[in-house]
Amino acid sequence: MTEVSASSLFGPTSTIELTSLGSGKITNVSLYDHWAEITRLYKAHVKPVRNNLTINGLPNALDRNSLRVEGRGAATIHDVAILNMPRSPVQETSAILDGLLIKRESCQMALHRCKKSIKSLEGYLLSLNAQHTNTTQVEKVIETYDLTAGKIDERILELGSNIKDIDKEIALEHDRLAELGQTDPRLRMRALISIFAEVEGDIELVLTYAVHSANWSACYDIRADMQTTDAPITLTYKAAITQSTGEAWDNISLTLQTATPTFGIQIPSLLPWALSVYKPPTISINRKSGSRFLDLEAEVESEEEEEEDDDVDMDITGHDRAITHRASTVSSKGNVNATPEAPGEITIPSDGGVHNVTVAQLQLDTTMSWITVPKVDPKTHLKNNHEYTLLPGIASIYVDGSFISRTEIPLISPQDTFDQPLGLDPSIRVTYHPLHKKVSETGFYTKTSNYIFSQRITVFNTKASGIGNLKIVDQVPISEDAQITIKLLSPGLTIPEHPSSGQPRASTPVRVNDDVVAQWEGADEQGFDMAALGRDGKFYWMCSIPAKGKITLFLSWEVNAPIRTQIAGL
């Protein structure tokens, strides 16, 4: 911090210059979907005059209209402005660089002298006349030459090495000087603050401003331990944070903000299965502009292959058993806003990378159930019965420590439920045996074709423990033509009739045996339209299977239509 006094039309002034990164500390960050609100604390020494305070190096991503300044101390803030920083001139020299250049010049001069000395010795040696010099003197001259030339050669090598080292130091100093005139290109904003102080002393300034280039999203880890019945599901609530504002968020208190609108997902359902009278292709000829066009209209009989589906999913309906806090808090407003606070102090560098921060870890005491739906992916139900609002995000699913898949979680308010798959359970084996069809004719004057379809379903539990709440969903076709009648024979479910009051009557489940109960699909759902119960042909069995046990289910339905009626969809 530098401080200079000056005079102006407004009287004496004091100039204070601070660097944002070096002089200010980020005390809190409130992170939103695509921007962040930064709170920085600065300390300065003011005089009882007008103090012109400059804070350099604020981020370019700063929203100028968002800046707020609060003061703490015996002073009054008079004016605040945001400007672009001017580019600093590049420093070309320094005392260190000057000293290195002088040292290099000295070595160069010494090297030049050494080379001249070598030439002088060589010239002296050539000037000797062999006729006037005896052998003894020649030997002494040559010995003296070798000794002196050797010392000079060593000096030349030493000076050459010194010059190379000095050149390296000069290059480093040039680089240092070049860096002195450079700042992070992302930090080219400055705040000008005019302060009137009553007395000389220290004050604190709190700057609050919004920046772009920062965001966060919710993500989760859902871990299922199939080897235990005590809190088998653990949900880790995390925040994926990215920021490239130019400011490093070092050891900050972070609050996560959101106002995401709610949206939901549904469990995939069985497609409608309808039967109708087969209509052969028809051809009509239209004439237009002297040309002939053929319009071919045909209904193609649908063909469905009988498939063996071993997909079994786990349906979890749980209640909050324990919440493991890491000094984290959360507040919710309605069903769409949530404000979780990241536990402790965290550091998020300004590198544009994704950094995951754990918000909370929820241990759920759950009741396992399994759902299997032929030809459709089943879902897993998870109860969010705790104080945290689960925001939309990606969840990684782990079962017994193995990664299974990634999936999306919708916005879930406290006490709400949501469907979430946990993958396949290979220890529950479901086999759909080949479909059996029996055709016969009835009637004396009016002949009717009668079709009886039978299918056997076998479920084998290979686990060392029994399972309950195994839901097997299936369907029978529905008729879209008055000539075709369809009846479910087994299980013996009937469609509820409307009483005289006009209100739909609740459906009664059919107990197949001690471990199996059949019911129309939707009867166990709140708010389901009872008038539509069974109209789509969908139903389910709810089963319990002991350890290493097996059950066999029988599905049978009857179709009647006038003889020689071609039925589409059968």
Rounded to whole angstroms, the Cα distance separating 272 from 569 reads 11
SS3 per-residue string spanning 238-285: EEEEEECCCCCEEEEEEEECEECCCCCCCCCCCCCCEEEECCCCEEEE
Instruction: Indicate the SS3 state at residue 13.
Output: strand
Per the DSSP assignment, residues forming a β-bridge with 546 are: none
Q: How far is CA 305 from CA 95, 301, 539, in A?
A: 88, 13, 20
Nearest CA to 427 out of 400, 446, 389 is that of 400
Give ∠ CA 280-281-287 in degrees, rounded to 5: 145
Question: Comparing 374 with 62, which gets the higher pLDDT?
Answer: 62
Q: pLDDT category, 324, cuts 50, 70, 90? A: very low
What integer pLDDT is reported at residue 331 of this predicted model?
A: 35
Rounded to whole angstroms, the Cα distance separating 253 from 346 reads 7
What integer pLDDT is reported at residue 41 of this predicted model?
A: 94
Query: Can the peptide bond before residue 491 be classed as cis, meaning omega within 30 degrees of 0?
Result: yes
Q: pLDDT category, 533, cuts 50, 70, 90? A: confident
What integer pLDDT is reported at residue 315 of this predicted model?
A: 42
Question: Comparing 550 with 346, which gets the higher pLDDT?
Answer: 550
Rounded to whole angstroms, the Cα distance separating 195 from 47 reads 10
Rounded to whole angstroms, the Cα distance separating 524 from 516 reads 15
Helix (H) or strand (E) holding 55: strand 50-58
* Tokens describing residue 151: 């010392």
Nearest CA to 159 out of 216, 110, 229, 219 is that of 110
What integer pLDDT is reported at residue 302 of this predicted model?
A: 35
Residues in the chain: 570
Query: Which has the minimum average pLDDT: 162-171, 458-467, 483-492?
Result: 458-467
| Domain range summary for the chain, segments of one domain joined by + | 2-88+183-211, 95-180, 214-268+306-426, 429-568
With left for phi above 0 and alpha for psi between -120 and 50, is residue 246 left, alpha or beta? Answer: left
% the chain with pLDDT above 70: 75
What integer pLDDT is reported at residue 512 of this predicted model?
A: 92
Residue 78 has pLDDT above 90, yes or no: no
Structural contact between residues 32 and 258, judged by C-beta atoms closer than 8 angstroms: yes
Rounded to whole angstroms, the Cα distance separating 289 from 287 reads 7
Structural contact between residues 376 and 270, judged by C-beta atoms closer than 8 angstroms: yes
Tens-place pLDDT, residues 217-243: 888 888 887 776 666 788 888 889 999
Q: pLDDT category, 319, cuts 50, 70, 90? A: very low
Report strand pairing: 467-475 vs 538-545: antiparallel
Rounded to a whole number, what is the largest CA-CA distance in the chain?
A: 157
Rounded to whole angstroms, the Cα distance separating 520 from 497 reads 14
SS3 per-residue string spanning 388-455: CCECCEEEEEEECCEEEEEEEECCECCCCEEECCCCCCCCEEEEECCCEEEEEEECCCCCEEEEEEEE
* Tokens describing residue 262: 């709610």
Nearest CA to 371 out of 486, 492, 459, 283 is that of 459
What integer pLDDT is reported at residue 92 of this predicted model?
A: 73
What integer pLDDT is reported at residue 182 of this predicted model?
A: 59
Instruction: Indicate the SS3 state at residue 124.
Output: helix
What integer pLDDT is reported at residue 12 of this predicted model?
A: 79
Owner of token pair 């703490």: 72
Nearest CA to 77 out of 95, 50, 102 is that of 50
* Tokens describing residue 369: 């159930």
Tens-place pLDDT, residues 425-481: 778 888 888 899 998 988 777 788 999 999 999 999 888 888 888 899 999 999 988
Per the DSSP assignment, residues forming a β-bridge with 364 are: 233, 320
Using only C-alpha atoms, what is the Rg of the chain?
Answer: 43
% the chain with pLDDT above 90: 25
Q: What is the dihedral of CA 556, 561, 566, 569, to 10 degrees?
A: -40
